[in-house]
Amino acid sequence: MTFSSQHLPAYIAGNPVFTNHTVKVKYPYDDSLTGTACLIDVAPLHQAIAAALDCTNVTPSRYHRSQILRKTASQKTLLGP
């Protein structure tokens, strides 16, 4: 089975952030490249910390969590369609 490699963003407060700094992600069994993931630098790091410490963040309801899980499950993953 062959997979195409993917370039995945970092996420800050739920928003994708693409950068020029990446880390290679390799398949552990044959050491093949499965994709890359973005690494963030200092400015986005501070933004991520501020978002995490924001007191207005509230826990989503059960319904909202179930919708997030359903949406995630329906999307294509690294393992293919």
Mean pLDDT by 10 residues, the chain (81 residues): 77 89 90 91 89 76 89 67 50
Longest dimension (CA), the chain: 46
**Domain positions in the chain:** 6-74
Give me the pLDDT at residue 80, please. 53
Give me the pLDDT at residue 59, please. 80
Give me the pLDDT at residue 74, please. 79
* Residue 56: C-alpha distances to residues 20, 51, 61 (Å): 31, 9, 15
Give me the pLDDT at residue 79, please. 52
Give me the pLDDT at residue 23, please. 93
- If residue 74 lies in a helix (H) or strand (E), which one and from where to where? helix 62-74
Q: Which position has the token pair 């999307």?
A: 75
Give me the pLDDT at residue 55, please. 64
Q: Is the dihedral of CA 30, 8, 81, 70 positive or negative?
A: positive
